[in-house]
Structure 1
Amino acid sequence: MSGGIGAARGTALCVGAVLGPGVLVLPAVAVRAAGPASLLAWAALLGVSTLVATSFAALGARYPNVGGVSAFTRRAFGDGAAAVVGCWLFAAVPAGVVAGAVVGARYITTALQAPPAAVAGTVVALLTVVYAANLVGLHLSARVQLVLTGAVVALLIAVVAVAGPRVDPDRITPFAPHGMAGIGSAAAVLFTSICGWEATANLSAEFTHPRLVRRVAGASLAVIVVLYTGLAVCTVGVLGDQAGDTPVPLMRLLAPADQPWAAGAVAVAAMLLTVAASVTFVAAGARTGVALARHRVLPAGLAATSGGQPRRSVAVQAGAATIVAVAAAAAPRLITVETLMRLFAALLVCVTLIGLAAAVRLLPEPRQRASAAVAALAVAAVAALSGPFLLAPAAVAAAILMRRRRTSTPPAVRPPAADAAGQDGVSKLLPYPTAMLARLR
């Protein structure tokens, strides 16, 4: 059964799923880790992104399904693997949302020339908006989503256009001051910049025709590659080794041009990127929590909804984000934005890896399976570079599998066999259709 998402809206949704607040700071984080050689990490990650995007698009076209990676994992590897993947997603949301809120708050306060102490209050305000929006069921219309994505893309193009003429080739030396270890470290944190391609699979059942998912993936990929390449080159060529010393690198790229609109425009973009992306992540995380609770993976009380809204699950997500934010405020040198992004990346890289393994098993064409296998190997290499941050997904997996072994009673809701539309149990347990989640993206 097809939905109502066309090519233009689908492209906006997928670009919006990949572009998040991380784009405001990740190029500078990569420079701090690897120096100018971060360009190699970007090139490698964008190559991997191409394989990941095409693999998830092929899965979505073959098995139109609103259940996404969890549904494909259940189809390929069973309930246990699907439970672990769902909990990885559920656990990743608080870290990612808090990191995004801090990044957005730094840009906003810098633009307003507010004192450093205002960052904490701005973080609280952004998180309040994000979780309140989910508690009341706020959603963005398709037209607003198109405008929002277009505005963000236009701003990033403006940044590249203003900063591009000032790129200095001399700033690429020394090229690799931290060696291969630095390049690997940059690649690990940059993985968050290519997360979101699974959205094409999640939305596949809502396209006007499943075949559109491949066209949308291709168009989205072209936009993402151009934007990230331009930002990476400008960050290295204009800011050089000073890129990692500023919490607001995009403003540094625009500031020398003395554009009166620069600070305000970047601050507005930071707010929109933070709120839009975070609302989407919280919505997806809350609904994942409901599905997991109904399968007895998480406590059953989390499955309760009020007026069709998963408010209890949202409240749990809000509580977890509050704990993360308080911990980050109490130990700013230990729990930094980069630490939270690396934790977020470690959880999502494991989700992507399992999704690609499912693609290797499920896709019918040898060429598609080979492409997914190459992508899986590349993502596995990125996962290995995450180092100690892999302890987080390992701990989540161990806890879930131990809980499953101790629980001998059958789940409250058994997943029915896949129907003609390809929607399995996880899909139907979600209290909202994908169309609503699509509007959130």
Structure 2
Amino acid sequence: MPDIPVGAQVFDLAFHPTESLVYTGLLTGDVAAFSYDEQGNHEEKFRLRPSKRSCRGLATSGDGSRLWAVGKSKALYTIDSTVGEVIETRKAAHDVAINRVQRLQTHLLATGDDDGVVKLWDPRKPDALRAYTHHFDFISDFLWLDDKKHLVCTSGDGTLSVIDVRAKKLEPFAQSEDQEDELLSVVAIKGGQKLVVGTQLGILSVFNRRRGYGDCVDRIPGHPHSIDALCAIPSHYPGAQSTVLTGSSDGLLRAVQILPTKLLGVIADHGEFPIERIAVDRAGEGRWVASVGHDEVLKMTDLKEVFEDEGDEDVEEADDDEEGEDGEVQEQEPSKDHSAGEGEPEEQSEADAVGAASSDDEGEVEERKRKRRKDKDPFQAAKKTKARNEMEAIDASFFADI
């Protein structure tokens, strides 16, 4: 799909849960809505300006009829998304600029500001239900765990906290130790049993809910810059339980498999502009992933082309390649001819070992096809002209010491 120009830097985006509509919150304070279709056509549906200050966060209701917007104005705006009009304004909802908003349940919202204050709201009531002050720096992201009714918050103060919205006390259910890095984004994997957190230093920190939230259980390096946004892929794709999309300040949108860890590919490129937010349509189960940054465009990438079409072609090509390689090995083994170079059998064995440990068939195929490529840092993708949705395979030895 062609990039959708929005006219200003985009701070946040939100999809309608059931329709082909996407909303963007802009630096100018505008909220712009666009429709799109499978052929790549798009149209601006409405544009309104609740405030002259920047719009930093958006969230939609369960049926998509309401849209909530927050930002530097410190207010919480309720927008009727069917007509594109502001129907309610809660002025001075926070004392400072609001950075994030998240719908938790039908009648429950959460907002987080630049001072680390988290507030819970009932859209039917004018005042906040509760306010939490255990963080002292900006709230960067929210994650809702519906099974326990827990709200996970990440903060620039280096800690992750968990709020039990059913409890009346104004203390968190749990809070991690200082991770000595700004925590910028969070997403759940493994059926919600593990949390992946993006950090300022480009490390993915993994928390295991069964072991508590005191500290992460694993740290995965590799990204050259901060990981500002994280998103899960639709559950019907193979490996969805352990695959995430990462938006980095180097402008690349990557697909990364966690435990075992490897880069599956770069699926979108914003050039030199950082990626602020990413989201998948149809409540996370759709076809399109949207990414936004400082380049004043909404980039829509077709996940079907990335995870299905190209994967099927690669499997067919790999089958042919593997048959030829097996034949070579069988001919060389009886004579033990090393004239072709001693390194090749070792590289083949290492690639097979990594492929066997992976549950992702596409990743295995990519490693075997590219096993003789010169070693390089796979996360630091070179700025070059690429085919549409080209996948870049990771070197088998990159994560050997993790």
Aligning the two structures, in what range does the TM-score lie when normalised by the shorter sequence? under 0.3
Higher relative contact order structure (alpha carbons within 8 Å, sequence separation ≥ 6): 1
Q: Which one has the largest radius of gyration?
A: 2
TM-score (structure 2 length as normaliser): 0.21
Q: Choose between structure 1 and 2: higher helix proportion.
A: 1
TM-score (norm 1): 0.20
